[in-house]
């Protein structure tokens, strides 16, 4: 099974992530940010990966460091769990609707970090969560997982719905990309021979 355990400690945060790619969608999340945990649960459930995240941070200052560092640590865990990526599908995509909201996410396990984020939210906060932090989470993730990620919010006027479609589509796109390709056997899915 492809698994990883990563701990990241800084003067601002301490984050521990356990990831099981071939999971059942179970999650145990403790970040001090209930809405963020709800979104991370969507990634686990729709990605069919088991995910444990425990994070403490300087929430009295702001949630920025905690959210970004969870993204960084999750990215490191995914990079570790993927190994050399032999036999993987490599590319994944998903369109996810929720009532009026619709988001498309496309991922390439390319070995090259890149985030192309086009999302507009109808308000700046969902409960006490700053929606700007979603981009910071994803940027931390792609830079350390070394993947290319395109996120396009195509419709939506309810901020919660928009965020939920984004995280569900992210989980589903990852699930597709991480799925073994039976026809590829143990080949690296690149003409370069490495990713």
Q: What is the pLDDT of residues 7-61, one digit of tens each?
A: 999 999 999 999 999 999 999 999 999 999 999 999 999 999 999 999 999 999 9
pLDDT at 90: 97
Is the pLDDT at 151 greater than 80? The verdict is yes
pLDDT at 186: 81
pLDDT in tens, 69-124: 999 999 999 999 999 999 999 999 999 999 999 999 999 999 999 999 999 999 99
pLDDT at 3: 98
pLDDT at 190: 86
Percent of the chain having pLDDT more than 70? 100
- What CATH topology corresponds to 3-184? Ribosomal Protein S5; domain 2 (3.30.230)
Q: Is the pTM of this model over 0.85?
A: yes
Task: Return mean pLDDT, the chain.
Answer: 97
pLDDT at 141: 99
Q: According to the 3-state scheme, what is the secondary structure of the chain? A: CCEEEEEEECCCEEEEEEEECCCCCCEEEECCCHHHHHHHHHHHHHHCCEEEEEEEECCCCCCHHHHHHHHHHHHHHHHHHHCCCCCECCEEEEEEEECCEEEEEEEECCCCCEEEEECCCCCCEECCEECHHHHHHHHHHHHHHCCEEEEEEEECCCHHHHHHHHHHHHHHHHHHHHCECHHHCCCCCCCCCCC
């Amino acid at each position: 099974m492809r698994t990883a355990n990563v701990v990241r400690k800084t003067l601002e945060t301490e984050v521990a992530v356990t990831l099981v790619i071939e999971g059942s969608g179970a999650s145990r999340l403790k970040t001090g940010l209930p809405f963020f945990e709800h979104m991370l649960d969507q990634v686990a459930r729709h990605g069919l990966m088991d995910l444990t995240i425990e994070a403490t941070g300087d929430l009295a200052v702001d949630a920025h460091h905690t959210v970004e560092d969870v993204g960084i640590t999750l990215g490191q865990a995914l990079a570790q769990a993927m190994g050399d990526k032999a036999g993987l599908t490599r590319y994944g995509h998903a369109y996810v609707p929720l009532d009026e909201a619709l988001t498309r996410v496309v991922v390439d396990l390319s070995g090259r970090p890149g985030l192309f984020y086009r999302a507009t939210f109808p308000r700046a906060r969902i409960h006490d969560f700053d929606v700007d932090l979603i981009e910071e989470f994803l940027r931390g993730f792609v830079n350390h997982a070394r993947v290319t990620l395109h996120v396009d919010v195509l419709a939506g006027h309810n901020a919660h719905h928009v965020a939920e479609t984004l995280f569900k589509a992210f989980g589903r796109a990852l699930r597709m990309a991480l799925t073994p390709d039976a026809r590829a056997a143990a080949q690296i899915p690149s003409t370069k021979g490495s990713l």
